[in-house]
Amino acid sequence: MGQQYVDFFAHYRDTLLHNPSGFLYSFAKGFGGDMFGTWSYYLMSPLNLLILLFPVSMLPSVLAIITILKYGLAGLSCGYFLKKKYQAADWSIIGFAVSYALMGWMVANQLNTLWIDAAILLPIIFLGLDNLLKSQSAKLYTVSLTAMLIINYYMGWMIAIFVTAYMIIFGIAKALPVQTGSYGKVFFRWLKASLLSGVLSAWLLIPTFFSLLTSKTNYSKNEFRVRFEYNPLDMLGKFINGSFDFKQLPSGTANIFVASVVIILFLYYYFSPTINWRFKIANFGLTAFFVLSMCFQPLDLFWHGMQLPVWYPYRFSFIFSFWMILTAFETFKDISAHNIRWRNFIASMTIILIGMLYIGLKMKKFEYLRAGNYVWGWIYLLLSIGLIIFYGLYRQHKLLSAALAVLMVGEMSLNFVNSLNNISYLNNTDYTKFAGITRSLTDKINQNDKSFYRTGQTFSRTKNDALTANFNGGSIFSSTLESATSNFAGNIGQPNGDAYILYSNGTMFTDSLLSMKYWLNERPVTVKTNQKTMPQFLSTLTSKPDLSKYELLSQTKQTNTYRNPYALPLGFVSPKQPLKTTAVPNSPIAYQNQLAKQLDPKIGDLFKPAAYTDVSYHNIYPVLDLNNAVLRKKNMMEQSYITMKVPIEKNTSYYMTMGPNISNTQLSVLVNGNSLVQFRPAKKTVVANIATGGTANDTITVKLYANANDVWLQNVKFYKLNDQKIARFSQDLKQSPYKISNWNNHQFTGTVHVKAAKQSLTTTIPYSKGWHVKIDHQTVKPRKWAKMFIYVPITKGTHQVTFTYWPEGLGIGLTISLIGIFFVIGSYYYKRNH
């Protein structure tokens, strides 16, 4: 929530209130990217509309309200389901409904608000399925399943697996509540209704599928292995009160906590002699499928769409908790009608007590489990057993139903408190202060400059700051990040991963190429009150001496804003032939030189190797060459570092490369005694700006501190870039710019004057099949350069050029959904008239 979703919600508000084109595409997503897939996964919950009623400064409070509402709606839908399916109307429904609303999965995933809609809709979908099986209307099932697929297709997939497994397993056992007609006819009705839901949601599902093909599916690990991920008996620990902590978020067993009453009645279901044996067999088959899915990797992979989850494992476990509650309530109604068979009840309780003893014996294995919580588990278990016994003896007494509800609510509330106390939250002001500062800066820039440009930062709260502050940036953290964007960022020396890029290590060349026209820079907070330094809300992201070459545009007490005079426009004319080169060197500096020569063949190499002198070693064995050397300490306990001098030529920028295996914990870099601040975890070698020469030659001192016994200086090299070179490069490509007259996130219209033949209109718009280009109203096919951006061949003369983005598959999806709507309308009128 703190690192990703809250920024998406800020974008949600800006898009719906101010810039609807952001629904399709946004240049706040990295260097630019499809937003349709982002919306379909993160932002389609109807409750998000509440965000529109409040300013961004109140966003954390609004999200708290939405979270509370989702808890309440989950309980309401479960209670409504139990009331309608079992024709029940006593106080016990409250206990079972609260057990569902506050189940372990809800507590563990409350910050993943985009998934909680699934818990709200699951009981409604199952109620619709029950109606369908009883030969009643299929409307509720179709509408609720369609809503689920639209709100979150990912969780919709899991619910679809559950419903399908239920239909198959209960059909085989001949245990479906079919009242009229054969199983084949009912199965066909269900299949038709399910397919109709898919058709009605095709307008969202199909373009989302194409979006996933260019993003998550390209880098996710399937890791198909036939193995058990852990001992299935380890799941028992999650039935104890407070069985959750922070370590369970990245990995752990499934969160399946429900009230002790539910566990008792769920197990007694299989021992009750008054429940049909076919139902028991079918129920046991589906339960076994769930249990196996939560520990057997191939099934786990299948539930998650053939993509193993990164953090928050077993995301489908809420369905198993629902299944337990449904089964337990059915047992409760059976007891109300037929009393308890005490011998059978004792047998089922014996199994539960053995399970509790097993948990006690294995307590050390369950790191998340505390002795106090284990005691509370015993207390609530014994109270629940006692209350159920009383209920079996005095079934008609209304106070017992109320007591059951109170007991279940108390147990679930205690688990809620104990579990949430084990995780931490982002401070409200950490977001609101940052959002207020950055939005005011970018709003001021936008008021004075209506052209297209990107903005860089030397400070950061998250990789999604551009979404919160509403500017075109170069960073993003999203499951729908295009793999080509991540690869390009890594190729030019920016920190990158499967789901993120961070434009924090830009050189003067990449700043120019990527239209980084403005830079936001933090200023140290030095004002003191009562001898305490004021809190600093702007965390330094990167050291960037190059900013001294840019124009200081404005200042506040906390920030500086710079304008980059070398920033290129979004599009410009360059020779066509060199753009066809696709090889990528291993070095980011070599790649940047290659890109510069492709765009401006006469420029030569922008970057050249920089020398260093006077190398001295403190408690480190000398090496012949720093690059790829291994630093070894002489004395393990003493401080160890290398010192060197780097001559700085006037009007020249200096950079240092570091390989991906060098972490901040292994190597610290000091330049003239100041720490070199850089975000370094990355897949490839990163670039760091270490110095910038002024009007006279100078020398800097660089110290490399070895923080481990052996430190590999992977790809550690020094480079320099002369100001005149980058100025000439910028001037050459600005001679024939793409002059944009109108633009929004998904469309650009403008003109370009081409002075020679065999040229191309070259852009830094990320290539996608969704982009369509027209030159003088004639459609042309866009091409890709640098395995990343769009270019189009163009003839000599002045041309009008339009770029338009339309998500791939959206047209097909809309057509299919419209056919589905016409089918529904036609069916309605046909039935009414006949």
Residue 231 lies in a domain: yes
Domain shared by 719 and 789, yes or no: no
Domain shared by 209 and 223, yes or no: yes
Residue 753 lies in a domain: yes
- Final residue before a domain boundary, out of 391, 420, 449: 420
Range of the domain at 35: 1-43+436-504+516-525+537-566
Is residue 535 predicted with pLDDT exceeding 70?
no
Domain shared by 21 and 107, yes or no: no
Domain shared by 323 and 277, yes or no: yes
Is residue 183 predicted with pLDDT exceeding 70?
yes
Is residue 555 predicted with pLDDT exceeding 50?
yes
pLDDT digits (tens, 9 = 90+) for 296-336: 999 999 999 998 888 999 999 999 999 999 999 999 999 99
Q: Which of 408, 418, 425 is nearest to 244 (CA)?
A: 418
Higher pLDDT, 429 or 8: 8
pLDDT digits (tens, 9 = 90+) for 586-637: 999 999 999 999 999 999 999 999 999 999 999 999 999 999 999 999 998 8
pLDDT digits (tens, 9 = 90+) for 761-783: 999 999 999 999 999 999 999 99
Structure tokens at 760: 């191309």
Asked whether 764 and 802 are in contact (CB, 8 A), the reply is: no
Supply the mean pLDDT for the chain: 94
Is residue 539 predicted with pLDDT exceeding 50?
yes
pLDDT digits (tens, 9 = 90+) for 67-102: 999 999 999 999 999 999 999 888 999 999 999 999
What pLDDT sits at residue 526?
A: 53
What pLDDT sits at residue 533?
A: 46
Percent of the chain whose predicted confidence (pLDDT) is above 70: 97
What is the rounded CA–CA span in Å between residue 286 and residue 288?
5
Domain shared by 13 and 107, yes or no: no
pLDDT digits (tens, 9 = 90+) for 406-428: 999 999 999 999 999 988 888 88
Domain shared by 556 and 440, yes or no: yes
Q: Length of the chain in residues, anyone? A: 834
Q: In this structure, is the dihedral angle defined by the CA atoms of residues 465, 108, 194 and 143, taken in order, positive or negative?
A: negative
- Final residue before a domain boundary, out of 420, 445, 479: 420
Look at the chain and report how many structural domains it folds into. 4
Q: In this structure, is the dihedral angle defined by the CA atoms of residues 15, 19, 20 and 25, taken in order, positive or negative?
A: negative
Residue 598 lies in a domain: no
What pLDDT sits at residue 537?
A: 67
Domain shared by 38 and 58, yes or no: no
The amino acid present at 790, given as its one-letter code, is I
Domain shared by 172 and 192, yes or no: yes
Q: Please give the model's pTM, rounded to 2 decimal places.
A: 0.94
Helix or strand run (H / E) with residue 692: strand 686-692
Domain shared by 399 and 520, yes or no: no
Residue 594 lies in a domain: no
Structure tokens at 814: 């809309």
- Final residue before a domain boundary, out of 389, 420, 451: 420
pLDDT digits (tens, 9 = 90+) for 101-146: 999 999 999 999 999 999 999 999 999 999 999 988 999 999 999 9
Residue 648 lies in a domain: yes
pLDDT digits (tens, 9 = 90+) for 366-398: 999 999 999 999 999 999 999 999 998 887 778
pLDDT digits (tens, 9 = 90+) for 470-497: 999 999 999 999 999 999 999 999 999 9
What pLDDT sits at residue 208?
A: 96
Residue 177 lies in a domain: yes
Domain shared by 399 and 493, yes or no: no
Residue 179 lies in a domain: yes
CATH number for 666: 2.60.120
Is residue 220 predicted with pLDDT exceeding 80?
no
Domain shared by 184 and 257, yes or no: yes
Is residue 787 predicted with pLDDT exceeding 50?
yes
pLDDT digits (tens, 9 = 90+) for 677-722: 988 778 899 999 999 999 999 999 999 999 999 999 999 999 999 9
Q: Which of 473, 475, 548 is nearest to 516 (CA)?
A: 473
What is the rounded CA–CA span in Å between residue 602 and residue 718?
24
Domain shared by 708 and 622, yes or no: yes
Residue 590 lies in a domain: no
